[in-house]
Amino acid sequence: MKESHIKLIKSKLPEIQTFVSDELSKRGIHADIIKFALVDNIILLETEKFQTSPVMFKDLNVANFGGSIKVSDDGEKMHIWIPVSYDYEYFGSGHNSTDIFSVSVTIDIAFRAHKPEMNAS
């Protein structure tokens, strides 16, 4: 990925983080995001640990596993995909995750000042 693309993504991270935080809130998850960063061509996401009521897991937080950032063939748009999942640990032993939703972001590279198009599903 070009350095200019990396800079563009980093400049849009606060907007994308706010969108993800709002989507979490819509789903009743009110944990602060403690990590939201571009690392190795994916956006890493992690929230603080939280609990359900009644307590069902030893540890529970929201994170992402994977994702992608791709530039369109014509070089005009950048597409970012962020899967958002519960990450949990059982009381006895074991660890697992399950998808909650995914976020797709489209950035128009030519019009950097424009707000990215963002959707959650």
For the beta carbon of residue 51, count every other beta carbon within 10 angstroms. 12
Helices (H), the chain: 3-26
pLDDT in tens, the chain (121 residues): 788 889 999 999 999 999 999 999 999 999 999 999 999 889 999 999 999 889 999 999 999 988 999 999 998 899 999 999 999 999 988 999 999 999 999 999 887 667 788 899 9
Are the C-beta atoms of 29 and 116 separated by less than 8 Å?
Answer: no
pLDDT value of position 91: 93
User: Given this model, what pLDDT does residue 32 score?
Assistant: 96
pLDDT at 113: 64
| Sheet strands (E) in the chain | 33-39, 42-47, 59-63, 68-71, 77-89, 95-108, 117-120
